[in-house]
């Protein structure tokens, strides 16, 4: 069974600085999808970025980018020029490309942004 591990329960960053959130996963599959979701205090789950495992190029969405290391099964999220609105819980998630399409989430990293 696939697992997702986020080893940083909490992280903090100063406004305008860069922070990296870590995520590792375990799978025997070669094709799959990885996601980062943001959960602000409102508790809604908002997709930040996604990565297809068959793509070598790291995904980027404005200030958010990932470092996808397939061999190491690592999928970290880099937030550049951090803003106060980035403060939230961040969840890494895995989805198989096979028979199941459920999302498997990590335990989350709470990001605090200080002015």
Partner 1 sequence: EPEVTQTPSHQVTQMGQEVILRCVPISNHLYFYWYRQILGQKVEFLVSFYNNEISEKSEIFDDQFSVERPDGSNFTLKIRSTKLEDSAMYFCASRPGRWGHTEAFFGQGTRLTVV
Q: How far is the CB of 84 from partner 1 (least distance, A)?
A: 21
Q: For residue 3, how many other CB atoms are within 10 A of its CB?
A: 11
Query: Sign (positive/negative) of CA torsion 100, 105, 76, 49?
Result: positive
Phi, psi of 86 (to 5 degrees): -80, -10
Compute the least distance from the CB of residue 79 to partner 1, in Å.
19
CB of 42 to partner 1, least distance (A): 7
- Other residues' Cβ atoms within 10 Å of the Cβ of residue 83: 12
Binding site for partner 1 (CB under 8 A): 33, 35, 37, 42-47, 50, 52, 91, 93, 97, 100-108
């Amino acid at each position: 069974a696939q697992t997702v591990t986020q080893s940083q329960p909490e992280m903090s960053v100063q406004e305008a600085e860069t922070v990296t959130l870590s995520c590792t996963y375990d799978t025997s599959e070669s094709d799959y999808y990885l996601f980062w979701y943001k959960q602000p205090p409102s508790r809604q789950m908002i997709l930040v970025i996604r990565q297809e495992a068959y793509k070598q190029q790291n995904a980027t969405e404005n200030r958010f980018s990932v470092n996808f290391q397939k061999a190491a099964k690592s999928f970290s999220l880099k937030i550049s020029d951090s803003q106060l609105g980035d403060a939230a819980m961040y969840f890494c998630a895995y989805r198989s490309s096979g028979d199941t399409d459920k999302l498997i989430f990590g335990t989350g990293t709470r990001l605090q942004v200080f002015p």
